[in-house]
Amino acid sequence: MAESGRLSPGGSRELGRALSATEPSPALETGQGCRAGAEVRVLVVNTGGTIGMMPQSEGLAPEANKLAGALAKIPILHDVTYAKETKLYDRLALGDDTLVLPLSKENKRIIYTIMELSPLLDSANMTPADWGTIAKCLQANYEQHDGFVILHGTDTMAYTASALSFMCENLGKTIILTGSQVPIYELRNDGRSNLLVSLLIAGQFVIPEVCLYFYNKLYRGNRVTKVDTESFKAFSSPNLPPLANAEVDITINWETVWRSNTTKKFEVHTNMNSNVGLLRIFPGITTAAVKAFLQSPMEGVVLETYGSGNAPNNRPDLLEELKQATDRNVVILNCTQCLRGSVSLVYATGKTLLDAGVIPGADMTPEAALAKLSYILGKPQLSLAEKRKMLSENLRGERTVVPIGTRITLKDSKFIQGIAKYLYISCKEELEAIRDALTPALACAAAKTGDLDALKALQNLGGNLSSEDYDGRTPLHIASCEGNLEIVTYLLESGATVYAKDRFGATPLMNAIRFRYYNILGLARSPGKCSSQQTIFSLKGTALCILALKGDIDGLRAWHLAGVDLDQHSYDGNTPLRVAKIMGRTEVAAFLKSLTKNDLQKSSATRVILKTPN
């Protein structure tokens, strides 16, 4: 890829000189007028865009060598007193392209150096070569700085942010792209606050991602798209909540922050493949147009499809072109034209594309998908199979791995987060989906071993303790089989239902009856634990009738000792005595008759709670 553009600090100083003098310094003592604080270093790479534009005869255009001088006159963006009193420029051998923010609430001094791309660009003029220039600048200055801010035009900022997110491998520091809708030189503008907050975040938080900050929100760079030309809120991240919100406080959504799971050295991959493109299908798109688009040298295409990834499946001509392209090893990635949501294979029209060799792109933005294609296809050492596999994977948090379902925070769950890290996922919604997938198995295991603390922990995470495993069994089923009164009590008090039926039709109560855990049956009978006493009694009646049917006198005696009235009706209106008579179980009938009215009254009044029979 050809190189375009050069970078220089502030447009006036030599790059090498600025870099040699950028060692971070510890907290400083100062004279009277200003407070010190730990100094951190941020590099600002000014690539152009509205933020630094001035009116020219042809309209707004970027103005070179002006930004640092202008910012130096804005007190919230430069603390002149601190610079003087601490002899900042002599001490660090800095030029006037370096400025210092007033002390932050977190007691930090953010010293930032501005470098400019030459020429400065309207981002509509940016090319992948410019992404390469920015990436190389980041690499050259990586060690000397704590964080990075890239000033960029909004028009293609989502493309650059996406591209840099892939190009920056093993990133361990914060990189933030920002810009503005109104030039920073105008009286009322969004540039000052966008720059200020970007500096504060880049200087004070390690968010090892390529981010985009705009109008109070920090987004993951490869999740955004420009949605508004008139509002200050120019960007949207439809499928991922912001990484941070800058309201009264700057709140980082740490659960969502992507972490690269590696200790490898930071490096940039600048060999982006330019033979990639975006093809948006529309009703009536001609085969000739598709055919022409897919011809050599095209190597990778983002196919923007309808809804959840659908293309017409009544167009064999079109599908044939796509199939022929994938057979020629052109990689085609399916992304939706919708702003929000994901490609899924619910419709036959989507499945058809899969059959033609098109790779589902989940909920990636077209910008991210294009950048990912360009990045992966720029790695000649990879086989086609490896490239296709990587396209389906989550490399930088650019796509959602598991279906989204929302509830509570998981920030304290080391276990779930450990799994999430292993699976390369990080956002709250994905974590919650994992929690929901694991809760049934974990809760059932805890119920089996009687681990009350584990159940409590799962519930604190927001796990649903009534959730069923693959057999439809709930933790209450398991605890009822185990006869663990403490666990059953906890589950019932947590809202677990005694009515849940497993795949064999058994409820927890039936399990307790089957294993003759009278303590649990007694608990279920007590007021407040179960909303339908009638159902329980009918279940008991049924269980008693079954015992009578089988001739199980011991079983009936146990119920009797547990204080249960054996003269109960089953669901079909029979009583144990009637069943015994009908079935000719004379011993059982005799036993039941032998229980005097007195005995029955006595036993039901006593409400004995027996321990397990074995």
DSSP-derived pairing of the beta strands 168-169 and 267-268: antiparallel
Cβ-based neighbours of 279, under 8 Å, separated by 6 or more: 290, 293, 294, 301, 302, 303, 304
Q: Are 96 and 68 in contact (CB under 8 A)?
A: yes
* Min dist. Cβ of residue 366 to ligand ASP (A): 17
Active site (annotated) includes residue 50 = yes
CA distance 311 to 282: 9
Task: Between 152 and 428, name the residue whose CB sits nearer to ligand ASP.
Answer: 152
Please identify the residue of the shown chain whose CB is closest to the bound ligand ASP. 153
DSSP state of 585: -
CA distance 309 to 303: 9
CA distance 322 to 299: 13
Task: Between 71 and 488, name the residue whose CB sits nearer to ligand ASP.
Answer: 71
Round to the nearest angstrom and report the end-to-end CA distance of the chain: 78
CA distance 186 to 143: 35
Cβ-based neighbours of 564, under 8 Å, separated by 6 or more: 518, 521, 540, 544, 603, 604
* Min dist. Cβ of residue 232 to ligand ASP (A): 11
3-state secondary structure of 576: helix
* Min dist. Cβ of residue 158 to ligand ASP (A): 11
3-state helix, strand, coil in the chain (%, to 5): 40, 15, 45
* Min dist. Cβ of residue 246 to ligand ASP (A): 19
Task: Between 50 and 507, name the residue whose CB sits nearer to ligand ASP.
Answer: 50
Q: Give residue 34's identity as a one-letter amino acid code.
A: C
Task: Between 157 and 476, name the residue whose CB sits nearer to ligand ASP.
Answer: 157
The phi and psi torsions of 282 (rounded to 5 degrees) equal -150, 160
* Min dist. Cβ of residue 433 to ligand ASP (A): 36
* Min dist. Cβ of residue 180 to ligand ASP (A): 7
Task: Between 155 and 482, name the residue whose CB sits nearer to ligand ASP.
Answer: 155
* Min dist. Cβ of residue 160 to ligand ASP (A): 10
Task: Between 122 and 502, name the residue whose CB sits nearer to ligand ASP.
Answer: 122
CA distance 500 to 491: 13
* Min dist. Cβ of residue 275 to ligand ASP (A): 25
Q: Are 337 and 344 in contact (CB under 8 A)?
A: no
Catalytic member of 50, 154, 336, 365: 50
* Min dist. Cβ of residue 179 to ligand ASP (A): 5
Sign of CA dihedral 369, 374, 377, 380: negative
Rounded to the nearest angstrom, the gap between the alpha carbon of residue 488 and the centroid of all alpha carbons in its chain is 34
CA distance 315 to 320: 9
Task: Between 5 and 48, name the residue whose CB sits nearer to ligand ASP.
Answer: 48
Q: Are 19 and 114 in contact (CB under 8 A)?
A: no
State the CB neighbour count (10 A cutoff) for residue 582: 12
Residue with tokens 């659908």: 310
3-state secondary structure of 239: coil
Task: Between 128 and 541, name the residue whose CB sits nearer to ligand ASP.
Answer: 128
Upstream peptide bond of 119 is cis (omega within 30 degrees of 0): yes
3-state secondary structure of 333: strand
Residues that bind ligand ASP (CB under 6 A): 48-50, 122-124, 153-155, 179, 181
CA distance 574 to 564: 16
Closest to 330 measured CA to CA, from 305, 304, 293: 293
3-state secondary structure of 161: helix
Task: Between 191 and 203, name the residue whose CB sits nearer to ligand ASP.
Answer: 191
Known catalytic residues are 50
